[in-house]
Amino acid sequence: MVLPFEKEYRERYYQLLDQVFESNFWSDGRMTRTFEEKFEEFTGLYSCAVTSGGAGLLSILEYAGVKGKEVIVPANTFWATAQAAKKAGAKVVYADCNREDLCMNYEDMVSKVTPDTKAVIVVHIGGHIAFDIEKIASFCEEHKIALIEDCAHAHGAQWNGKTAGSYGLAGSYSFYATKTMPLGEGGMIVSRDKDLIAWMKKFRNYGKEVINGKIVTYPMKEGFNYRINEFTAALGVVQLEHMPVILEWKRMLARKFDQIFDKTVIFPEGMQSGYYKYIVFDQNLSEETGKVFNYTDFGNEIEGIKLELPNSYWVAEHHKCAPIYYGWDKAQMTAEEIKVYLLG
Ligand SMILES: Cc1ncc(COP(=O)(O)O)c(C=O)c1O
């Protein structure tokens, strides 16, 4: 598989690289600001670029002050979600998912809350917004629990106009090489809270910030280096210009898959997925991109803890992903041809 990065986007990238060289800033410069501003337009949220999706989660957890407290995470996610909470010094408590959307189940999450619960991390698995997010957000607000959104899969997702990262305290996107918006590496913290993002901009740089070309240092004992470099930021600007093409391409293919598969994720009114994955249940496919997760990827399994999480284990067993990655060479076939190709 070749990651499609068409000639026009390469040329645009080379132009921006020239701007970086001419600016004399290879880190913490104008290109990072431009990338953040454009991401703000994309999600409607304040944004702070960081080195990875995991670094973004860890930063938000540090901000929320979870050390010595409990953080509820879904079992069925990539280990990064739980690991970020562990690295931030929290005890991880695993919650079950729904079979319908693969995302955190509200009732199970509520049943896991204790007086020590400091945060809940919802993962928008597969590229759509978690169906229970409104209920989870109201509960967290009422009980003063920080709601953190892992948006690693959710580029381009929205539900009635609300993007991933806009329901809770903050969210973290990943730009890892296989994501819907790949930069090779990188992440973006998003939030409705301007002050939180101002804190992040210092936190990612040991308490320093470059303002109008001058380094300003703040007293901040927590800070570390989660800066991105200006070359990655330039690629970020280009990929944001590319995103409408990538998303429309995936949605075009999803419309064909919708004609082929009936056992899939059925979206509620107003949901628009970014289609990081196209999930099907109980289906043999001639070509697939595996599973979003196997049960061996569950955080509790990695920690060696046996838990009753019936929906998570059911989903791990019964789902797989039809090939919806940008550039799939069969995408231009008709729905009927794809059906014959995938199902025989
Ligand atoms: C659900 C989820 N959360 C977090 C991450 C971590 O992102 P990164 O690899 O950019 O640290 C990933 C993927 O890599 C992921 O799939």
- Residue ranges covered by each domain of the chain: 7-237, 242-343
Ligand 1 neighbourhood includes 59 CB (under 6 angstroms): no
Fold of 242-343: Aspartate Aminotransferase, domain 1 (3.90.1150)
Instruction: Give the model's pLDDT for residue 2.
Output: 66
Ligand 1 nearest atom to the CA of residue 80, by list position: 4
- Calculate how far, in angstroms, residue 171's C-alpha sits from the geometric centre of ligand 1: 12
- Whether the CB-CB separation of 206 and 196 falls below 8 Å is answered with no
Ligand 1 neighbourhood includes 80 CB (under 6 angstroms): yes
Instruction: Give the model's pLDDT for residue 89.
Output: 98
Ligand 1 neighbourhood includes 52 CB (under 6 angstroms): yes
- Whether the CB-CB separation of 73 and 81 falls below 8 Å is answered with yes
- Whether the CB-CB separation of 285 and 322 falls below 8 Å is answered with yes
Question: Residue 172 contacts by C-beta under 8 Å, 6 or more apart in sequence?
Answer: 50, 53, 54, 56, 57, 59, 60, 148, 149, 150, 151, 152, 165, 187, 188, 189, 190
Instruction: Give the model's pLDDT for residue 27.
Output: 94
Give the closest residue to 74 by CA, choosing from 123, 111, 110, 107: 123
Residue 276, token pair as written in the block: 């990081």
Give the Cβ contact number of residue 140 at 10 Å. Answer: 23
- Calculate how far, in angstroms, residue 258's C-alpha sits from the geometric centre of ligand 1: 27
Note if the pTM is more than 0.75.
yes
List per-residue pLDDT tens for the chain, 344 residues long.
Answer: 668 999 999 999 999 999 999 999 999 999 999 999 999 999 999 999 999 999 999 999 999 999 999 999 999 999 999 999 999 999 999 999 999 999 999 999 999 999 999 999 999 999 999 999 999 999 999 999 999 999 999 999 999 999 999 999 999 999 999 999 999 999 999 999 999 999 999 999 999 998 888 889 988 888 999 999 999 999 999 999 999 999 999 999 999 999 999 999 999 999 999 999 999 999 999 999 999 999 999 999 999 999 999 999 999 999 999 999 999 999 999 999 999 999 99
Asked if CATH classification 3.30.465.10 holds for the domain at 7-237, the reply, yes or no, is no
Ligand 1 neighbourhood includes 49 CB (under 6 angstroms): no
Ligand 1 nearest atom to the CA of residue 52, by list position: 10
Ligand 1 nearest atom to the CA of residue 174, by list position: 10
7-237 matches 242-343 in fold: no
Instruction: Give the model's pLDDT for residue 210.
Output: 87
Q: Which of 50, 76, 78 to mutate to test the pocket of ligand 1 (most atoms within 8 A of CB)?
A: 78
Give the Cβ contact number of residue 212 at 10 Å. Answer: 5
- Calculate how far, in angstroms, residue 54's C-alpha sits from the geometric centre of ligand 1: 6
Question: Residue 22 contacts by C-beta under 8 Å, 6 or more apart in sequence?
Answer: none
Instruction: Give the model's pLDDT for residue 74.
Output: 98
Ligand 1 neighbourhood includes 53 CB (under 6 angstroms): yes
Instruction: Give the model's pLDDT for residue 212.
Output: 83
List, as own/partner pairs, every contact residues 68-72 make where C-beta atoms lie below 8 angstroms and the sequence separation is at least 24, other chains included: 69/116, 69/117, 69/118, 69/119, 70/114, 70/116, 70/117, 70/118, 71/117, 71/118, 71/119, 71/120, 71/121, 72/109, 72/112, 72/113, 72/117, 72/119, 72/120, 72/121
Residue 217, token pair as written in the block: 């240092």
Distance CA 225, CA 231 (A): 17
Question: Residue 222 contacts by C-beta under 8 Å, 6 or more apart in sequence?
Answer: 62, 203
- In this structure, the residue with its CA closest to atom 8 of ligand 1 is 53
CA-angle at 215, arms to 209 and 217, nearest 5°: 65
Ligand 1 neighbourhood includes 272 CB (under 6 angstroms): no
Ligand 1 neighbourhood includes 152 CB (under 6 angstroms): yes
Instruction: Give the model's pLDDT for residue 1.
Output: 60
- Calculate how far, in angstroms, residue 290's C-alpha sits from the geometric centre of ligand 1: 17
- Calculate how far, in angstroms, residue 174's C-alpha sits from the geometric centre of ligand 1: 6
Distance CA 102, CA 79 (A): 16
Ligand 1 neighbourhood includes 77 CB (under 6 angstroms): yes
CB neighbour class for 178 (10 Å; exposed up to 12, middle 13-18, buried from 19)? exposed
- Calculate how far, in angstroms, residue 56's C-alpha sits from the geometric centre of ligand 1: 10
Give the closest residue to 85 by CA, choosing from 122, 110, 113: 122
Ligand 1 nearest atom to the CA of residue 176, by list position: 10
- Calculate how far, in angstroms, residue 59's C-alpha sits from the geometric centre of ligand 1: 14
